[in-house]
Amino acid sequence: MGFFNKLKEKLTKQTNTITEKFKDGLTKTRENISSKVNDLVARYRKVDEDFFEELEEILIQADVGFDTVLELVDELKMEVKRRNIQDPLAVRDIIVEKLVEIYRGDEEEINTLNIQQDGLTVILFVGVNGVGKTTTIGKLAYKFKQEGKKVILAAGDTFRAGAIEQLEVWGERVGVDVIKQSEGSDPAAVMYDAIQAARARHADILLCDTAGRLQNKVNLMRELEKVKRVIEREIPGAPHEVLLVLDATTGQNAMVQAKQFKEVTDVSGIVLTKLDGTAKGGIVIAIRKELHIPVKFVGLGEKMDDLQEFNPEQYVYGLFAGLVEEENARTDDGGDL
């Protein structure tokens, strides 16, 4: 697999640690795709319409997304025809190449956070309850603190029982201040207090939690608008990021949530948690392709540093590492390809 081996070589030169994190974190998805693709390749002696139909089904089951899969398979068919490929094994390398291309798209990809070099950076987090929003805030606070930045947390989810306490636990664990009011208080007032505290304490980063009730989108929209209005009034141009936190294990339901939040607020990036806990990690491709919102972080485990900046090449490597290593092992043993 030429393209994949070049990709692996490039990533190995960059950093072995992150490559291994993506590889380990995508184990369930890789096992789901690898075993099925291996079986598909073993059963077909040539690349025909039936081969592509089964490949479509495998990718759809991995939550790559129906429209995205159809586009991918159409492009594969054209490449197979253009290169006159007969061997199903050769198709696997093209799949890797096309997945990287599809994720990147025609747009300039902005995976990195919009961090202000001078002054306070305000990052607003949105997402329904239970997706790992508070944990994400805690892990990002840890990441920024490790980078030498002064971080403050704003407990803006004032309605969910225990939300403020949960954020305080993370604040103590990481060693950062948490600005809060009493349960049921106005989230916008919390944000105002947090900005004043961040300024007074010369903080670099302010991470803001918000309520995650989608049952009444009108109320949620008004609440988020009010919060953003207060932030922007105090710091023109802020919030600098609005990150939507989604649970990868919910598959297509995560896509539905993303569409709903996109309707009520300007989402600048997505954090996809629990990617290591699902066999349907193809949802990353579906979200990027259908919603045109970059995935900026992915959760690849329970440890503090397992929330990783998303990299499409690392991701695709993680998806297909098993396939290629098996194939290379057979080659080294003198097996036929």
Summarize the annotated binding site for GTP as residue ranges. Answer: 127-134, 209-213, 273-276
Q: Are 2 and 97 in contact (CB under 8 A)?
A: no
Matching residue, tokens 């992915």:
298
d(CA 79, CA 98) in angstroms, rounded, equals 10
d(CA 201, CA 74) in angstroms, rounded, equals 55
**Of 87, 94, 54, nearest to 72 (Cα)?**
94
| Type of residue at 227 | V
Segments of the chain assigned E as strands? 121-126, 151-154, 177-179, 205-208, 241-247, 269-273, 295-299, 307-309
Give the other-Cβ count within 10 Å of 148's Cβ.
Answer: 7
Query: Token digits for 230?
Result: 């207060």
Q: Are 319 and 29 in contact (CB under 8 A)?
A: yes
d(CA 318, CA 39) in angstroms, rounded, equals 19
Matching residue, tokens 């990027």:
288
d(CA 37, CA 322) in angstroms, rounded, equals 11
Matching residue, tokens 């077909």:
44
Q: Report the binding-site residues.
A: 127-134, 209-213, 273-276
Give the CA distances from residue 188 to residues 71, 208, 310, 317, in Å, rounded to whole numbers and listed in that order.
43, 11, 30, 42
